[in-house]
Amino acid sequence: MAHRRRRRPLVGRRAVRGGRRAPPLARSRSRPQIQRTRRDPARPSARDRRGLRGYPSSKLCRPARQRSGLGPRFQLDSGRFDRAAQHRAPRRPNPSGGEASARSFRAGIRRLSRQDLAVDPAALLGQGGANSLRGVVLDGPHLGVAGRAALTGAKILIATFGSLGDLHPFVALAHALAREGFAPVIATSAAYSDYILAEGLAFAPIRPDADDLMARLGMEMGEIARRMAEDDKFLFDTLIFPHLRESFDDLQEASAGAVAIVSHSLAFSARLVAEARGLPLATVLLSPMMLYSAYDPPLGSRVPLRRAPVGSVEIAYNRFVLWSLSHAIALWAEPLRRLRRELGLKPRYGLDLLLGVKSSDAVIGLFSPALAPPQPDHGSRTLIAGHTFHDRYLGGAALPPNLEAFLDQGAPPIVFTLGSFVARARRDFYRDCVTAARRLGRRAALLAHEDDVPALLSQQRQDVCVAPYAPHSAVFPRASAVVHHGGVGTTGQALRAGRPQLVAPFLGDQFDNAERVKRLGVARVLDGKTATPDAMVRALEGLDEAHEIRAAQLSERIRREDGAAVAALRIAALVAQNELRRKEAATL
């Protein structure tokens, strides 16, 4: 059967007329006309609605713009979608005050809250940047004469907990707040009262005191340090949680008349007092690992995290692991949850229960953005302000005479220090340091705890100097290398001095800090609890010229930082914003 050729249709593109192809005009007339209607711009499209719907707590399916911390792409403004809301320039201030002045104030607050300001704090502090912003925050007409008078000399309570490394940054912050016209009060252990009063600052004691702790536990401070290095839960279960109620009572009394509270991340009772009194709260983080970022996770820990995550899958994995870890750690905090219930406060969960990063009005990182650059999941309230460099103790900044003479006599030595607390965790560490330095044929300066100095004097020769506490800012620039425990304050001073480092961490955030300076190319890392003289020799020999060059380059950036000044402006903005809200509420 012969195949029949199918005839072409007489309509459509292949339509013919008189055996010939139809002209273009004739073909176009045969096509049906489609009526197209434009979408009402006031009605969001499906894609727009996607950015406003609720998402699971994992936040894995949020649009990239939301994950980056920039907020929703579209904002509701008078019932319509405002596509330019995120990019609209702030209006100029109106000298006559009123609503335009309030808008200028809020623009200043947003500018101060932006994370990228701390990438180069000199951009904020130099060329009148801080002065202009201070004028917006504290001197703007939106507050009025009464509002400005109320903020002048206003009391701000600063609560901290821990060793000198936990106290120095808050002393620097208190001085910066005093320069802004506030009246800061530092609340901490009574053991530091002489130090704080010598700085010319107000002091309020809070429990527990170090002497009371040693008496209750029947332990010397060295044994407490060793237990903290061996057991992660010892700090919470033994040193903090049993004393929550008495710390709360002391801070409740000390906060009378305060306009804001600034809290160390471990000063749990301070956050409870702020919630109970309805005061603005600024939580200060002293180490980068406290941010618990999935993009830049804690380093040097036993938790199986992707250290340098690439792609959404690895970031999602880190986010899940950190979420699980935070809730596991929060299981230890039953005493904290119980006290919150007794006070009638709102329940908190996970990291927010322990660190208050979500419930705080501001989260301030007093460390360099070089250690932890701003990440998409830090949150809009987080500001990485930069390092603080206060290390003066009991009003003096001079070096001990024997150390000054030693530094002047010969080649730059290797400086060994374990700070004020960790030195008690391993008594033989400094002896091993002397052995390693002599094998290398190098001079050594030991900055030891005052309790360890008598035992170390037998090691002192022409090539070794033993001294008690000395300001790191005066010693580190005169060293050939710095060997330290990885405390964030000591790390910042070593970075500022521009010297290569050997970091020997013992506990807590020190492992994370050590890995971060190693990542910067200025240090090598050694486990402080197991380090031997041979291991120290090999590690110190590995500090080559590349480490010296990189350390010198990085120090130029670190020297420009003034974390205390940036943090003080952020807290001033928080106080002024709360004052504006109070005035607006009073007029309703």
CATH number of the CATH domain containing 532: 3.40.50.2000
pLDDT of residue 79: 34
Say if 94 falls within a structural domain.
no
Per-residue pLDDT of the chain (588 residues; tens, 9 = 90+): 555 566 555 444 444 444 455 455 444 444 555 455 554 544 545 444 444 343 333 343 444 434 444 343 333 333 333 333 334 344 444 433 444 445 555 555 555 544 434 334 444 444 344 444 455 455 444 555 555 556 778 899 999 988 888 899 999 999 999 998 899 999 999 888 988 998 999 999 998 887 788 888 888 777 787 888 778 788 888 888 888 999 999 999 999 999 999 999 889 999 999 999 999 999 999 999 888 888 988 887 777 888 888 888 999 998 898 888 887 877 788 889 899 999 999 888 877 888 888 889 999 999 999 999 988 888 888 999 999 988 776 555 678 888 889 999 889 999 999 887 776 667 788 889 999 999 999 999 998 877 778 778 877 888 899 888 788 888 999 999 999 999 888 999 999 999 999 999 988 888 999 999 999 999 999 988 888 999 999 999 999 899 999 999 999 999 999 999 999 999 998 898 888 888 777 776
- Full DSSP string of 531-585: --HHHHHHHHHT--HHHHHHHHHHHHHHTT--HHHHHHHHHHHHHHHHHHHHHHH
Give me the residue label for tokens 């004097």: 457
Q: Do 201 and 265 have their domain in common?
A: yes
At 498, is the secondary structure helix, strand, or coil? coil
Q: Which of 67, 19, 61, 259 is nearest to 152 (CA)?
A: 259
Q: In total, how many domains does the chain have?
A: 2
Say if 303 falls within a structural domain.
yes
pLDDT of residue 76: 30
Q: Do 517 and 443 have their domain in common?
A: yes
Say if 2 falls within a structural domain.
no
pLDDT of residue 197: 92
Q: Do 206 and 342 have their domain in common?
A: yes
Q: Which of 243, 248, 290, 256 is nearest to 272 (CA)?
A: 248
Distance (Å, rounded) from C-alpha 77 to C-alpha 42? 10
Contact 365, 56 (CB under 8 A): no
pLDDT of residue 16: 47
Residue ranges in 46-161 assigned as alpha helix (H): 46-50, 64-67, 99-113, 121-125, 129-138, 144-151
Q: Do 570 and 550 have their domain in common?
A: no
Say if 36 falls within a structural domain.
no
Q: Do 162 and 210 have their domain in common?
A: yes
- Per the structure, the complete domain to which residue 491 belongs is given by 401-558
Strands 16-17 and 20-21: antiparallel
pLDDT of residue 136: 46
Q: Do 450 and 324 have their domain in common?
A: no
- Full DSSP string of 221-277: HHHHHHHHHH-TTHIIIIIIGGGHHHHHHHHHHHTTTEEEEEEETT-HHHHHHHHHH
Distance (Å, rounded) from C-alpha 554 to C-alpha 492? 11
Give me the residue label for tokens 């710095």: 482
Q: Do 450 and 351 have their domain in common?
A: no
Q: Do 146 and 280 have their domain in common?
A: yes
CB-based burial label for 64 (10 Å; 0-12, 13-18, 19+): exposed
Give me the residue label for tokens 């792609």: 311
Q: Which of 308, 302, 367, 300 is nearest to 511 (CA)?
A: 300
Residue ranges in 152-192 assigned as alpha helix (H): 164-179
Say if 395 falls within a structural domain.
no
Q: Do 323 and 439 have their domain in common?
A: no
Strands 155-159 and 258-264: parallel
Say if 79 falls within a structural domain.
no
Say if 367 falls within a structural domain.
yes
Considering the entire predicted model, what is its pTM?
0.76
Q: Do 109 and 210 have their domain in common?
A: yes
pLDDT of residue 537: 93
Q: Do 526 and 575 have their domain in common?
A: no
Say if 140 falls within a structural domain.
yes
Q: Give residue 75's identity as a one-letter amino acid code.
A: Q
Q: Do 375 and 462 have their domain in common?
A: no
Give me the residue label for tokens 């197209």: 36
The C-alpha angle 562, 563, 564, rounded to 5 degrees, equals: 95
Distance (Å, rounded) from C-alpha 540 to C-alpha 301? 23
